[in-house]
Amino acid sequence: MGGYSPFNKIIGYFDDWFINFDEGNPFEEKYEYPYQYMTFECLILVYQMAERMELLKYGEDNKMRYAEFMDYVLNYISCYNEEHGDTFIFIFSNKFHNWMPYIKLVANKEKFKKK
């Protein structure tokens, strides 16, 4: 799969969901998708955000579907940008690829690196 595959973005969640995934054995351990309401589209929408797990939890806890979750996240980044300056932008599509919308981190990247 190329660098633009949505699955490359989803793989980034494995460390959050399955702490010892690399050491585990899928024949002995049960690996389940952790959400009922948060779809792959929801994951891709927030994959660049440091607070992505909290946003996904909020969406799941409130039984949000994709459109409602996207509305919530767009409102979140709008409020965040007002308070902290332009940090996130909404990317609807890419001129080279027809691909799912996502929130792009555009400022303070060092501040948001995972620890």
Give the ranges where 1-112 is alpha helix by DSSP (H).
6-11, 14-17, 40-45, 52-61, 66-84
Which residue has better confidence, 23 or 99?
23
Q: What is the pLDDT of residues 84-98, one digit of tens each?
A: 999 999 988 665 555
- pLDDT surpassing 70 at residue 42: yes
The yes-or-no verdict on residue 1 having pLDDT over 80 is: no
CA dihedral 112, 45, 22, 57 (to 10 degrees): 80
22 contact partners, CB below 8 Å, separation of at least 6 = none
Map out the domains of the chain as residue ranges: 6-20+34-105
What pLDDT sits at residue 2? 47
Computed on alpha carbons and rounded to an integer, the radius of gyration of the chain in Å comes to: 15
pLDDT digits (tens, 9 = 90+) for 59-85: 999 999 999 999 999 999 999 999 999
pTM of this structure = 0.80
Alpha carbon separation from 88 to 29, 32, 73, 114 (Å, rounded) = 37, 30, 11, 16
